[in-house]
Amino acid sequence: MSRAPMLLAVEGPVGEVSGWFLENAWLIPVIPAVAFFGILLFGKKLPRGGSELGIASMVAALVLAAGATYQWIDGLAAHKKAAGNYEVEPVIRDIVWWQSNPFEFGLGQHIDGLAIALLLLVAFISTLVQVYSTEYVAGDRRYTHFFAALTLFSAGMLAMVLAPNMVQLILGWEIMGLCSFMLIGHWWEERANSEAALKAFFTVRVGDMGLLVGTAMLLGIFGTLDIKEINELAAAGEFDSKNMLMWTAVALFIACIGKSGQFPLHTWLPDAMAGPTPVSSLLHSSTMVVAGVFLVARLYPVFHVGLDINVAGQQFNLIAVIGAITIIIAALLAFVQDDIKKVLAYSTVSQLGYMMLGLGVGAWTGAVFHIFTHAFFKCCLFLVAGSISHTASHHSFDMKKDMGGIWRKMPVSFGAWMISTFALCGVPFFSGFFSKDEIIDSAKHFEYTTLWVVSVVGAGLTAAYMTRATYLTWFGTPRGGAAHFMGVEHDTHGEVHEHSAHPHEAEHADAHLPDHTDDAHDTHGHDDHGHDDHHAPHGKPLPFAPHDSPWKITAPILLLAILAIGSGYLNAPALGIYWFEHQTESSIGLPIDHGDEHGEEGGDHSGEEDEHEEGAAVTELALGTGTFVAAEGGDGHEYEAPGEFAVPAPPTFTWRNAIWPGLTLVAVLFGVALLLSRAVFGGEKNPASRFVGLTKRNKAAGGIHSFLVNKYQLDNLYENGIVHAVAHPIAKAAYWVNQNIIDGIVNAVGKGGKRSGDALYKYVDQGLVDNAVNLSGTAASEGGHALQPVQSGKVNQYGALLFGAAAVGAILLIILNA
Amino acid sequence: MWAFNFLLLSAALFSIGVFGVIARRNAVMVLMSIELILNSVNLNLIAFALMNNSIDGHVFALFVIAVAAAEVGVGLAMVLMIYRNRRSISLDELSEMKG
């Protein structure tokens, strides 16, 4: 296939949108930033410990973000009516923060479709999570600091999202890293928690080096740090060396690997679950970890051009391959976790892999939309996990020990979980289906065949591990804490529930900490839902059965569950809705090569499209340059790679592509996983029963299992292979150098110093300096004696001297000036 | 130039003042001579202010008058103390400052 010529797809007037909210969007991160200091300074004196400040600031940010969203949509619709396309300029404002000639570094805002979508997302989820937290961490000893850190995190993320230049982006990026560290280590009394916090911080720092290097390279290549200019220059091909641009993209992508938990730096993310659940929900699933994906999406021309994405014949590129590897390895790891939060953590890693894969194959819209939908359903899943641990399972997250059979008593949590799980698995008409399917479809359509196969397998694995987790959590026999909660005797597996069963379980272990958890649960335990887990003896039925979590927990969950369905309909190719795509397409920074898409779109979907869409199709068809050969007609949508300076338009959705093989595989693996779960965990007799205990009977299967349990030995590799093998010899070598070379130098210097000191004393000090000192002393003494008579003590003589000297001075002055 | 006459007068006053400081024995007379010197300086300042058509000299003169008042106050107090201790204000008999 020959390389297609570079072209601009949409040649229309570039519009502008305006409005108060759009122009003042910079206030959105400023409000939480101010609130952060407010909480730190006054939080402890406020009646609700500063949480009201945090929530108020998030609501204010949400209102501003919603206003900006409204004005953006409105302005875009007006522009569409006037000019017939969706090309609008971003709303940019900035001030010069500091300058170092000839470069100016600003702070400000860069508002476009991408920024708007994420602003709204982050503000919305932050608000919900803060409301949830008021209940979840109630009574915590560092309640105020918890809210301060959450608020600062939101400020950092919002600042990064609307960054007009790389400096502000790095600023927000690092603030998030810091807050992540603070919040993972929120209960730092447990050593495991503080180690997890350190691990997260250092692992991400490894990637951050790439961000600094990449930014410096961007400055070197383009001479500016302004994101809009960088994108325009990269998209126009105005750089000296393609090779340099490639390495810049690689350096920046290393930062994304660290931040977004991509292979091989994904190991920090599951450990980060040591933090409180709201933190996992907000930072480590829905917002912060997508920062890496956001960076790629934001600087897409740099990556697209630098890595030759979508160039004809390309089968692999760095971003897509890393994404694909991440999808598979994380999904496999999710099968062997007993901790519900770790399952969700690996699932997050895997879904982040999908986003990267999407960006890597040119499906910009699909990837960004997956950020959007994933945030809702994954945040919801985490909040449900927190709800279970808070209400049902004694602050435990262990699915095998403390859960099971609780679905009857927690209808809201259970319903939300199921909806979000369906969304995550990509069941049709849930939000995840629309976004994930577009990524998978694009991988196939843009001819990244191997990666497409990987992504389909990943989708099937997702369904399987979520089936396992769902079965263990909600169905089967209640065990441990859940049995206690359900009011039944629990002895089925003969497991004794111990608080210290999992020392790395933050909330669990937290029950030991004096002075907060107990009190909190006592106060609400007695009156609202009879939750009295620390006093009732284990194994005895409770006198009255508790129900679902309190409203502060269920309300955010419900809202998110609704969005886990609803958000998908913003961009549902299956229904002919391309709304989200149109809102954000001007953010790609590269012209979209629509090729022959619209001719076909009209043919295939005319029945499903509303009038507006049909109008759009016709207009864009008229505007298209028509460089490409039109399709043969019918289903044969021929794909031509657009080359490095344009992205291909998303493929046309067909149910045939979605069902075979993607959805079929999902359904099959769902069935297999269900049977296996019932056989293995439920002890039921069914066709899958013969696989029970396979890992113990079969060596190979056991080996694979322990390989997975040990997380591919990656942690061991890093610990033993890198920390020990590299750091220890370095430490040893450093010690040797220290002992032999540095000490030798120090000793030699010392000896030399002493010798030269002796010489100095003998000749210079005694001979020269002393003589000089004595001489000057003698001279002063003699001079004093000679001048003594002048000091007669007679005032008149003093006056005469004074005036005489003044007269001499005056005479000198006159002579010199003459 | 008529302002030159002021300078001459001021020079004469200055010389008389210097003579007084050097030659008189009486401490009060010495203080009065110092006043003469200061006033000759004032006269100089005013004369130059006139010549340069500037107000600065006048301002300085006012400052000098204020400083002179303070200086005479301190000086007379010292003379009074010396008189109380020694019943004399003759400067010949004073040589405590001899070094």
DSSP three-state, residue A89: strand
Cα A347 from Cα A333, distance rounded (Å): 9
A231, A222 contact by CB (below 8 A): no
Q: Do residue A796 and residue B95 have CB atoms under 8 angstroms apart?
A: no
Helix or strand (DSSP H, E) at A95: strand A91-100
The answer to whether position B36 is within a domain reads yes
The answer to whether position A140 is within a domain reads yes
Q: Six-digit token pair at B76?
A: 């007379």
Cα A581 from Cα A650, distance rounded (Å): 9
Q: Which residues of B touch A791 (CB under 8 A)?
A: 97-99
Cα A104 from Cα A120, distance rounded (Å): 29
A437-457 per-residue burial string, b: 16 or more CB within 10 A, e: under 16: bbbbbbbbbbbbeebbebbbb
The answer to whether position B81 is within a domain reads yes
Cα B23 from Cα A444, distance rounded (Å): 117
Q: Do residue A799 and residue B91 have CB atoms under 8 angstroms apart?
A: no
DSSP A287: S
Half-sphere exposure (Cβ direction) of A769: Cα atoms closer than 13 Å: 7
Nearest by CB to A803, which of B18, B92, B97?
A: B18
Cα A165 from Cα A89, distance rounded (Å): 16
pLDDT tier at A619, thresholds 50, 70, 90: very low
Residue A672 clears pLDDT 50, i.e. is over it:
yes
Q: Six-digit token pair at A345?
A: 């953590």
Mean pLDDT for all residues in chain A: 78
The answer to whether position B98 is within a domain reads no
Cα dist from A87 to A10, A11, A303, A586, A622, whole Å: 8, 9, 21, 5, 16
Of A480-494, A499-513, A796-810, minimum mean pLDDT range: A499-513
Cα A355 from Cα A359, distance rounded (Å): 6
Cα A113 from Cα B50, distance rounded (Å): 76
Specify the amino acid at residue A20: W
Specify the amino acid at residue A726: V
Given this model, what pLDDT does residue A693 score? 67
Which candidate, A405, A606, A589, places its Cα nearest to that of A487?
Answer: A405
Residue A378 clears pLDDT 80, i.e. is over it:
yes
List residues of chain A with CB under 8 Å from any CB of chain B. 788, 791-796, 798-800, 803
Which single residue is written with the structure tokens 């001459």? B8
Residues A479-490, mean pLDDT to the nearest whole number: 68
Q: Six-digit token pair at A292?
A: 């890496």
A284, A345 contact by CB (below 8 A): yes
pLDDT mean for each 10 residues of chain B (99 residues): 84 93 89 93 92 90 94 93 88 76
Cα dist from A446 to A593, A648, A740, B18, whole Å: 12, 8, 61, 107
**Pairs of CB atoms within 8 A across A/B:** 37
Given this model, what pLDDT does residue A628 score? 40
Which candidate, A27, A24, A33, places its Cα nearest to that of A54?
Answer: A33
- Considering A98-102, A357-361, A504-508, the range whose residues carry the highest mean pLDDT is A357-361
Helix or strand (DSSP H, E) at A711: none
A506, A188 contact by CB (below 8 A): no
Chain B residue with the nearest C-alpha to that of A797: B22
The answer to whether position A776 is within a domain reads no
Residues A386-398, mean pLDDT to the nearest whole number: 79
B16 touches chain A (CB under 8 A): no
Nearest by CB to B91, which of A788, A791, A795?
A: A795
Q: Which residues of B touch A792 (CB under 8 A)?
A: 95, 98
Listed in sequence order, the residues at least 6 apart from A751 whose beta carbon sits closer than 8 Å to its beta carbon are none
For helices A113-136 and A143-161, give the axis angle rounded to 10 degrees.
Answer: 170
Cα A613 from Cα A606, distance rounded (Å): 9
The answer to whether position B95 is within a domain reads no
Give A217-263 pLDDT, tens digit per residue: 988 888 888 888 888 888 888 888 888 888 999 999 999 998 888 88
**β partners of residue A99:** A104
Instruction: Give this complex's ipTM.
Output: 0.81
Give A345-360 pLDDT, tens digit per residue: 999 999 999 999 998 8
Residue A624 clears pLDDT 60, i.e. is over it:
no
Given this model, what pLDDT does residue A695 score? 67
Nearest by CB to A793, which of B18, B23, B97?
A: B97
Of A113-122, A710-719, B45-54, minimum mean pLDDT range: A710-719
Q: Are strands A91-100 and A103-111 parallel, antiparallel or unpaired?
A: antiparallel
Of all residues in chain A, the percent with pLDDT exceeding 90 is: 11
Q: Do residue B21 and residue A799 have CB atoms under 8 angstroms apart?
A: yes
Given this model, what pLDDT does residue B9 score? 93
**β partners of residue B90:** B26
The answer to whether position B96 is within a domain reads no
Helix or strand (DSSP H, E) at A88: strand A88-89
Give A535-562 pLDDT, tens digit per residue: 344 444 443 345 667 778 888 888 888 8
A109, A158 contact by CB (below 8 A): no
Give A404-457 pLDDT, tens digit per residue: 777 777 888 888 888 999 888 888 888 888 888 888 888 888 888 888 888 888
Phi-psi region of A230 (alpha: psi -120 to 50; beta: other; left: phi over 0): alpha
Q: Which residues of B touch A798 (CB under 8 A)?
A: 97
The CATH number that applies at residue B45 is: 1.10.287.3510
**Where are the alpha helices (H) located in A163-317, listed in sequence order?**
166-184, 191-222, 227-235, 242-259, 268-271, 277-281, 291-298, 300-306
Cα A288 from Cα A291, distance rounded (Å): 5
Listed in sequence order, the residues at least 6 apart from A462 whose beta carbon sits closer than 8 Å to its beta carbon are A331, A347, A350, A351, A424, A425, A426, A666
Which candidate, A440, A438, A460, places its Cα nearest to that of A448?
Answer: A440
The answer to whether position A395 is within a domain reads yes
Listed in sequence order, the residues at least 6 apart from A468 whose beta carbon sits closer than 8 Å to its beta carbon are A335, A673, A676, A677
Chain B residue with the nearest C-alpha to that of A803: B18
Residue A618 clears pLDDT 70, i.e. is over it:
no
Cα A567 from Cα A580, distance rounded (Å): 10
Given this model, what pLDDT does residue A536 score? 40
The answer to whether position A533 is within a domain reads no
Residue A389 clears pLDDT 70, i.e. is over it:
yes
Q: Do residue A794 and residue B30 have CB atoms under 8 angstroms apart?
A: no
Cis peptide before A278 (omega within 30 of 0): no
Residue A91 clears pLDDT 70, i.e. is over it:
yes
Helix or strand (DSSP H, E) at A721: none
Give A731-777 pLDDT, tens digit per residue: 788 788 878 888 888 889 889 988 998 888 888 888 888 888 889 99
Contact residues, B window 57-86, toward A, CB-based 8 Å cutoff = none
Q: Do residue B98 and residue A800 have CB atoms under 8 angstroms apart?
A: no
Residue A659 clears pLDDT 60, i.e. is over it:
yes
Q: Do residue B91 and residue A793 have CB atoms under 8 angstroms apart?
A: no
The answer to whether position A678 is within a domain reads no
Cα B81 from Cα B74, distance rounded (Å): 11
Cα dist from A373 to A560, A569, B49, B62, whole Å: 10, 10, 85, 84
Q: Do residue B95 and residue A803 have CB atoms under 8 angstroms apart?
A: no
Cα A92 from Cα A86, distance rounded (Å): 18
Q: How many residues does chain B have?
A: 99
Structurally, chain A folds into a number of domains equal to 2
Given this model, what pLDDT does residue A538 score? 44
Listed in sequence order, the residues at least 6 apart from A650 whose beta carbon sits closer than 8 Å to its beta carbon are A363, A365, A366, A438, A441, A442, A573, A581
Structurally, chain B folds into a number of domains equal to 1
The answer to whether position A624 is within a domain reads no
A718, A203 contact by CB (below 8 A): no
Largest CA distance in chain A: 129
Cα dist from B24 to A404, B38, B84, whole Å: 117, 17, 21
Given this model, what pLDDT does residue A779 score? 92
Residue A492 clears pLDDT 80, i.e. is over it:
no
Q: Which residues of B touch A795 (CB under 8 A)?
A: 27, 30, 91, 94, 97
Q: Do residue B21 and residue A803 have CB atoms under 8 angstroms apart?
A: yes
Q: Do residue A796 and residue B21 have CB atoms under 8 angstroms apart?
A: yes
User: Radius of gyration (Cα) for chain A, nearest Å?
Assistant: 34
Residues A486-492, mean pLDDT to the nearest whole number: 57
The answer to whether position A169 is within a domain reads yes
- Considering A76-90, A127-141, A329-343, B7-21, the range whose residues carry the highest mean pLDDT is B7-21
Chain A residue with the nearest C-alpha to that of B94: A794
**Where are the alpha helices (H) located in A12-50, listed in sequence order?**
20-23, 27-42
In chain B the first and final C-alpha atoms are separated, in Å, by 49
Helix or strand (DSSP H, E) at A96: strand A91-100
More confident residue, B84 or A77: B84
Domain of residue A182 covers 15-476
Cα A803 from Cα B13, distance rounded (Å): 14
A140, A128 contact by CB (below 8 A): no
Nearest by CB to A796, which of B22, B96, B98?
A: B22
Q: Six-digit token pair at A253?
A: 């992508």
Residues A274-286, mean pLDDT to the nearest whole number: 85
Which single residue is written with the structure tokens 């170092």? A100
Specify the amino acid at residue A445: H
The answer to whether position B99 is within a domain reads no
Domain of residue B15 covers 3-90
Q: Which residues of B touch A784 (CB under 8 A)?
A: none
Specify the amino acid at residue A471: Y
